[in-house]
Amino acid sequence: MNTRQLFLQHIAQTSLSPIGLEMVKASGINMFDVNGKKYIDGISGFSVANIGHSHPKVVEAVQQQAAAYMHLIVYGEFIEQPQVSYAKLLIEHLPSTLDCVYFTSSGAEAVEGAMKLAKRVTNRSKIICFNKSYHGSTQGALSLMGDEYWRNSFRPLLPDIHHFDYGSQKAIDAIDSTTACIILEPVQAEAGVVKPTSEWLKAVREKCNQHCALLIFDEIQTGFGRTGSLWAFEQFNVVPDVLLLGKALGGGMPLGAFIADKKLMNTLTYNPVLGHITTFGGHPVSCAAGKAALEVLIESNWITEVKSKEKVLKDKLHHHKIKNVNIAGLWAAIELQDFETTQTVAHQCVSNGLITDWFLFATNCIRIAPPLCTTTEELKTICEIVIQSLNEVNIK
């Protein structure tokens, strides 16, 4: 059997129609398949490769740390310099109330840890979340998933989970003395890049304060400059009690984290001891890679350039087949007629050398989220490929 047949036979499949390209190299914003064809990564590996693929400083950090040591012991027992150094760097770029990092293996595991933290701190079980939200596929995170289509086959899930429309007053009204936490994305990702108002987020913050409920921001996709600031919450002047990170956090390596005040985080250390544990969370090679990637991002001008690149998206993404475009920084959801149209255009984009996709809860929208290092000219090329693909497919 060839590699594709082996892939389909022995790798557990997540859908009936995987993209199925066999890539052999990735560098900067480009990927190369086994036949030598070059593709622009228009979605940053789903927001992982914010500084591009295989940055030399990240590769060097991985190599040096792998040569020193990899896994030593279950997380939290030994003092591991890569974890300590990366936590310190993160804290230096966060508000003072977010001063303690719990590294995990993924964003979904960070969600699980934050849910446990909220229950432990408040001694409550009620969790408020949102329709069209995505926080991961583990069972706790799946309980928060904002669409019954994805939840139904795996019930029973966690009880006392309450879903509301994003941006609604009903969600605010539901926060009361029985609420452990409210968890939300400061820009909803899989709904198709949906931004709330500052007034709504501030009202959520105030209601949480009134009832001693934790406010959890999921910045697993928005974090690390995607929307034009290091953290999206900075643009709303609202600070969460718990911040969730993943995807770009590891610089291309698997890594997640939930971050909170040290006093809150300490509650996971007693009654019971080892209140939250992980074997590979905060893997030293992942932490070394993530720290190097964040240093590259901070030392560059890429975040400050996001707003000008956002304007390129606004100026270039015009076509009679495009119904609307939602944009938040270097992140766009291009609304087309329906899912069939979106799928056809996305496949044509791949044929034309651009990797793109759609959104879980906005399947009629094309996803554009290239690495932040994408130049203005490269971004124009991305937009041109989208327009070219729209012209080439036979759709209304």
Please state the rounded mean pLDDT for residues 212-238: 98
Q: What is the pLDDT at residue 268? A: 97
- For residue 244, the model assigns a pLDDT of 98
Flag whether pLDDT at 286 surpasses 80.
yes
Give the pLDDT score at 396. 59
What count of other Cβ atoms lies within 10 Å of the Cβ of residue 35?
A: 8
The arrangement of secondary structure in 56-299, i.e. its CATH architecture, is 3-Layer(aba) Sandwich (3.40)
Choose among 323, 329, 310, 328: nearest CA to 383. 310
Q: For strands 332-335 and 324-327, give the pairing.
A: antiparallel
Quote the CA–CA distance of 269 and 281 in Å, as a whole number: 16
What is the pTM assigned to this prediction? 0.97
Report pLDDT digits (tens) over 336-389: 999 999 999 999 999 999 999 999 999 999 999 999 999 999 999 999 999 999
Q: How does pLDDT run across 53-64, given as a tens digit for each residue?
A: 999 999 999 999
The CATH number of the domain covering residues in 3-54+301-392:
3.90.1150.10
pLDDT tens profile 117-164: 999 999 999 999 999 999 999 999 999 999 999 999 999 999 999 999
The contacts of residue 145 (CB under 8 Å, 6+ apart) are 133, 134, 135, 137, 151
pLDDT in tens, 84-121: 999 999 999 999 999 999 999 999 999 999 999 999 99
Asked if the domains at 3-54+301-392 and 56-299 fall in one CATH topology, the answer is no
Rounded to an integer, the average pLDDT of 206-227 is: 98
Amino acid at the residue 223: G
Which of 197, 111, 99, 222 shows the shortest CA–CA distance to 161? 111
Q: Distance (Å, rounded) from C-alpha 43 to C-alpha 174? A: 35
Quick one: which H or E segment has residue 357?
Answer: strand 357-359
Strands of the 332-335 sheet, one edge to the other: 324-327, 332-335, 362-368, 357-359
How confident is the model at residue 177, as a pLDDT?
98
CA distances from 42 to 38, 105, 131, 285 (A): 12, 25, 26, 26
pLDDT in tens, 1-60: 888 888 888 888 888 888 888 999 999 999 999 999 999 999 999 999 999 999 999 999
Q: How far apart are CA 302 and CA 372, in angstroms?
A: 6
Mean pLDDT of the region 284-311: 98
pLDDT score recorded for residue 16: 81
Query: pLDDT tens across 152-180, in order?
Result: 999 999 999 999 999 999 999 999 999 99
Q: Indicate the domain borders of the chain.
A: 3-54+301-392, 56-299
